[in-house]
Amino acid sequence: MPELLRMPEVATGSTSAVLSAWQVEVDQQYSAGELVAVLETDKAVVDMEAEVDGRIVLLLATAGQEVATGEPIAVTAAVDELVSDPQAAAEELGVGKSAPEPAVVEPDRSHESDSVPAAAPQFSVQAAVSVPGHRIFASPIARRLAREANIALESIVGTGPNGRIRRRDVQAAQTQFAAGDRPAPSDERPAAPTSASGGYREVPHTRLRKAIAARLTESKTSIPHFYLRGTAVVDDLLDMRRQMNDGEQTRVSVNDFILKAVAFAHTKVPEMNVVWTPEATRHFETVDIAVAIATESGLVTPVLRDVGGMSLGRLAEATKDFAQRAADGGLRQNELEGGSTSVSNLGMFGTEGFDAIINPPQSSILAVGAARQTAVVRDGAITAATTLQVSLSVDHRPIDGATAARWMQVFIEALENPARIVR
């Protein structure tokens, strides 16, 4: 019997996602576990796998369409099941009837649209639309930038996989088109900030900005924060970094050392490697750390797994990969979940110190400032040294002040004795 394939909840609490691309054609058989579609949120790209063997007999959503969680995106049937009238089958399953006749279309000829259907209980049945040219793939940030620059996606050449349009492609197009000579986008909703005579303008909130606001509000209202501050002398760390990077293609950053020191301290003080749940305090066996990455569309926090078991070189490769894919909107949802702590580093902006807000359900976040030449007292004498200020925000529900203080002590000692964390 035909069934509806529905948009899954891509991330906890998500209300919608963009159907980026179909990976199977109409009437093409697929097996359980096979990739059938690629979904996108503002932060990540998610593979949608088949739960059972089957085939799609009718598409209810096209590539590029934003679909609410739980809404149907296709009609499916068993591999050997005959469905003579897919349109009628969809109507019997409760999908709207005012739709064009279904058509079998080559998926790489489908036009990607970013428009959202009018509000209705169900999506209208529609076949994939084919237009001259190729299917348009674009990252969420590329879509936003193109919309804000009033550049049609069709006019941009994508340099990503399968011609996917990335942020840098939109930026290249901006330099190519002269002002006033840019083709108007046909499948993008214009983001027209409203101007007022009072001397201000309003820019509508993006989904990512709304999500960040909701999450941080939840954190500050539901998590009892307390804060510890520390200062480390990092001259030895900087010397070791210079030696390690000499002649190496993959360069280790100061932040990579900090991540290793966090993992080292979590291993020595395992009471910090926890998160609070309504029923119990959850203790983790490996140290998974989220690293805050600022993108043009907002902050994302992909999670590095088992940082304690990674070499500094491997850690440097992983953080650089995250940074690149975060900029291109290519992070996957599972890479944004988990971890017991985060590291947020604003030192590259010259910020000396700040307090960060915990990313739920994690139990702590380390805020890192810039390394500065300062005067310190050693053996009763004043001397110059490079110091680094950090601030640790802690969830007081699973972690007490004395535990966090022991952690800070171990962490500072690890930064000041970097040989301990590169063994």
Please give the Cα distance from 6 to 17 (Å, whole number): 11
Please give the Cα distance from 83 to 79 (Å, whole number): 11
Please give the Cα distance from 389 to 372 (Å, whole number): 9
Is 396 annotated in the active site? yes
Q: What DSSP string describes 34-58?
A: -EEEEEE-SS-EEEEE-SSSEEEEE
**Closest to 90 in 3D by CA, of 78, 80, 79, 101:** 101
Please give the Cα distance from 119 to 121 (Å, whole number): 7
* 232 DSSP β-pair partners: 388
Please give the Cα distance from 72 to 5 (Å, whole number): 6
Among residues 111, 134, 283, 396, which one is catalytic? 396
Q: Dmax over Cα atoms in the chain, in whole Å?
A: 90
| Element of type H or E holding 312 | helix 312-327
Q: For residue 298, how far is the Cα from the chain centroid?
A: 10
Q: Are 45 and 10 in contact (CB under 8 A)?
A: no
Q: Mapping DSSP to helix (H, G, I), strand (E, B) and coil, where does residue 345 land? A: strand
Q: For residue 187, how far is the Cα from the chain centroid?
A: 24
Phi first, then psi: give them for residue 323, nearest 5 degrees. -60, -40
Neighbours of 24 (CB within 10 A): 18
Q: Beta strand pairing status for 72-77 and 3-6?
A: antiparallel
* 293 DSSP β-pair partners: 300
Neighbours of 375 (CB within 10 A): 9
Please give the Cα distance from 290 to 307 (Å, whole number): 10
Q: What DSSP string describes 225-254?
A: EEEEEEEEE-HHHHHHHHHHHTT-SSPPPH
- The CA distances from residue 280 to 46, 266, 335, 339, 392, in Å, are 30, 19, 24, 16, 23
Q: Which residues are catalytic?
A: 396
